[in-house]
Amino acid sequence: MTTSLPDTAETDRIDQVLDQLAEGETAWAACGLARRRELLEQVHAATAAHARAWVEAAAGYKQLPSGSPLFGEEWISGPYAVLTATTALADSVRALEQGRSPVDDYTLAAGPEGRVAVRVLPHTRWDRLLLNGFSAEVWMPPGTTAAEVRDRAGLGLRTPTATAGIGVVLGAGNITSIPVLDVLYELYAHNRVVALKLNPITDPLLDVFRAVLDPFIRIGAVRVLTGGADVGGYLVRHTKVAHVHMTGSAATHDAIVFGTGPEGEQRRRSGTPLLDKPVSSELGGVSPVIVVPGDWSEADLRFQAEHVATQRLHNGGYNCIAGQVVLLSRDWPQKDRFLAHLRHVLAQAPARPAYYPGSDTRVTQALATHPTAERLAGGRVLLPGLRPSEADPALTTEYFAPVLGVLELPGGPREFLDAAVETANTELLGTLGVNVLAHPATIAALGRTFDEAVARLRYGTIAVNAWTGLGYLTPTATWGAFPGHTLQDVQSGIGVVHNAVLLDSPERTVVRGPFRPAPRSVLHGEFALTPRPPWFVTNRTAATTGERLTAFASRPRWSALPGIFASALRG
C-alpha cells in the first residue's frame, strides 16, 4: 500500500493494542467450550440491551427520516442479525460441549452431482412460523461424504487451545451487523483474537460495538479501533498480525494486497503481493436477477417488481449483494408490463439520502456511459438495453448506488434460462449471489432442467424466488463468494463467514422462497404463510415489524408472535 503512516502517537497506540491482543490470545486459549458459549450468551444480552441505540445511531448517519419504515432495515440487518447469529453459534458450541457434531441436529440429504446438502432453514419451530415457506441448504463440494461433514464440522472449536494468532477485521461501512459477525467468525471458526478496524462511516457506532463486544474486550480477545486508511495500512502490515479479513470492493482489496497505481497493477499481474499474510474477503460484485418467462398474473408482476426493486434499493443500493442487472427474455409477452411495474416501484419507493461516499459520482458515470439511461424519481437510474459481450461497465462495475440495468436475451423458458445462466457465469463480475424468479408452474414444467440450471450457477448464494439477502440473514447458512478465486483475480472474495454450523469447506448456499406472499400463496397452492417480507422497501410497517422481530430474537416466546404477525400482515 502507498498510504502514509499514522503519526507516532497513533502507531504507538496500535502497537499497544496488538500487545494486548497477544496477551489476550493466551486468555482466549484458556477459554474452554463452556466459557466460549457463555461469552456468546453475554454478547447476545448486550446486543439486546443496546439494540435501540444501535438502530438510532445507524439511522442517524444514514440520515433516515424520522418515522420512516426504512428503520426496519436497520433493525433487521443490524442487531437482529447478531442476535440470531449468537443463538445459532451458541447451539453449535453446546453440541461440541456434549461430544456431538454441530450438524447432528440438521438434516443431511443428497444434493446434485454427488453433493451433500445440509438443510439449515427451517431449523427451529420459530423458523417454521416466522419464515414459513422459505428454506435454505448448504451444499458441500461434490465427493464430500455425510460422515466427513459431521466429523469436520466445528472448525477451530475442535481444538480450542490451538489458537491462530491475531486477525485484523477491516469492517464494512454499509450493513451494520457485518463487523460484529466477522469478529465472531474469526474468534469461533478460526480461533483468532481480533483487532476490528471500523470503516470511518460507522464510527458513530463505536460505543455500541464496544458495548456489544465487551465480553470479549474484557478478556483481551477483541479490540476495536477507528481511523483512516493509514491506520488500516499499518495494522494489516504489522508483523504481529497473522491474518486479514475485509469486506469491501475488489479495488480496495487489490490496493491492500498489491498496492496502488501502475506498480500495484504490475504486482497483481505477476502475483507478487505486498501483503505477506493470508487474506480472506467478501467483496460483492454485479449480482444478476434472472426472471424466467412464464404466465404471471397482474398481482404476480407487481409483487415481483417490488421484489426486484428491493434487491436494488435496500440500504439505498449500498449492498454487496444488491441486484444490479435484471436478465429478461425479450420474447416474454409480459416483459413490457413487468418493466412498467418495475419503473413505478423504483420511482415510488421511500426516498432516502445518498449517504455512502461516491454514490453520486457513480450514478453520474452510469448516466454518462449509457445513452438509454432513464432518470427516475429519488435519484434512481434504470439502464435498459444492456448487451452481453460488449464490455458494458454495468456488467463489470459494481455501482454500489441505486442503478439497475436490464439485459434482454432471446427464447422461451428453457432457452432463456440456459442463456441466462451462461451470461451470469461468464459476463458479470463476481460470484457472491444470484437471484432466480420463476413461476411455480414454469419450474414444474422445466423439471430437471430447472434444477440443473440452478446447479450450474457458480455463485456463493443462489436464491430461487427469494432474495440472496435472506442467505445473509440466515446465520446457519454460509456467506461468501463461490470457491476458487485467487488474490490475483479475487472477484467476490475468498472464504466464507456466518456459517454458524461451522461446516468445513462449504461450496454454496441455496435459498428458496414462495413465489407469492400470503394469502395469495395459499390460494394458489403454495402453502406458504409469509406475507410481504419486512425487508421489502415497499413494506409500510417494516420498522415496527423489524423492532418486534429483534425483541423476539433476543427472547423467543409465544406471547410475542401475535404482535409480529399483526404488524407483518399490515405491511
Assess if residue 231 is contained within a domain. yes
Say which CATH number the domain at 216 has. Answer: 3.40.605.10
pLDDT tens-digit profile of 191-213? 999 999 999 999 999 999 999 99
Assess if residue 514 is contained within a domain. no
**Are 321 and 451 found together in one domain?**
yes
Domain boundary among 239, 254, 282: 282
Mean pLDDT of 453-457: 98
Least confident of 306-315, 349-358, 415-424: 349-358
Q: What DSSP letter does each residue of 501-548 carry, written as one string?
A: T--SS--EEEEE--SS-TTHHHHTT------S-TTSTT-TTHHHHHHH
Is the confidence at residue 1, as pLDDT, over 60? no
CA 493 – CA 321 distance, rounded (Å): 13
pLDDT tens-digit profile of 514-544? 999 999 998 888 888 899 999 999 999 999 9
Which three cell numbers, joined as nine digits, stand for 437?
424468479
Is the confidence at residue 341, as pLDDT, over 70? yes
Looking at residue 523, its pLDDT comes to 87
User: In percent, how much of the chain has pLDDT > 90?
Assistant: 93
Higher pLDDT, 280 or 5: 280
Mean pLDDT of 329-353: 96
**Are 354 and 271 found together in one domain?**
no
Looking at residue 200, its pLDDT comes to 97
CA 438 – CA 181 distance, rounded (Å): 32
**Are 297 and 198 found together in one domain?**
no
| Total count of domains within the chain | 2
Mean pLDDT of 20-24: 97
**Are 178 and 297 found together in one domain?**
no
Is the confidence at residue 231, as pLDDT, over 80? yes
- Are 85 and 475 spatial neighbours (Cβ–Cβ below 8 Å)? yes
Mean pLDDT of 222-241: 96
CA 17 – CA 123 distance, rounded (Å): 40
- Are 515 and 526 spatial neighbours (Cβ–Cβ below 8 Å)? yes
**Are 241 and 385 found together in one domain?**
no
**Are 223 and 342 found together in one domain?**
no
Measured CA to CA in angstroms, residue 130 lies from 133, 511, 545 at distances of 9, 16, 11
CA 223 – CA 219 distance, rounded (Å): 10
Assess if residue 17 is contained within a domain. yes
- Are 294 and 414 spatial neighbours (Cβ–Cβ below 8 Å)? no
Q: Identify the three-state secondary structure at position 297.
A: coil
pLDDT tens-digit profile of 324-338? 999 999 999 999 999
For 196, how many CA atoms within 13 A lie in the half-sphere containing its CB? 31
**Are 251 and 372 found together in one domain?**
no
How many beta carbons lie within 10 A of that of residue 113, not counting itself?
11
Assess if residue 37 is contained within a domain. yes
**Are 239 and 319 found together in one domain?**
no
**Are 278 and 365 found together in one domain?**
no
- Residue 359 binned pLDDT confidence (cut-offs 50, 70, 90): very high
Assess if residue 551 is contained within a domain. no
Domain boundary among 437, 472, 507: 472
Mean pLDDT of 24-36: 98
Assess if residue 94 is contained within a domain. yes
Is the confidence at residue 165, as pLDDT, over 80? yes
Which among 524, 516, 532, 536 has a CA at the least distance from the CA of 565? 532
Mean pLDDT of 312-334: 97
Looking at residue 522, its pLDDT comes to 87
pTM: 0.96
Domain boundary among 246, 261, 282: 282
**Are 165 and 275 found together in one domain?**
yes
**Are 342 and 197 found together in one domain?**
no
Looking at residue 325, its pLDDT comes to 98
Assess if residue 439 is contained within a domain. yes
Assess if residue 115 is contained within a domain. no
Is the confidence at residue 137, as pLDDT, over 50? yes
Which among 282, 225, 228 has a CA at the least distance from the CA of 253? 282
**Are 371 and 257 found together in one domain?**
no
**Residues spanned by the domain of 157:** 8-102+153-282
- Residue 3 binned pLDDT confidence (cut-offs 50, 70, 90): low
Is the confidence at residue 161, as pLDDT, over 70? yes
Is the confidence at residue 308, as pLDDT, over 90? yes
Say which CATH number the domain at 352 has. Answer: 3.40.309.10
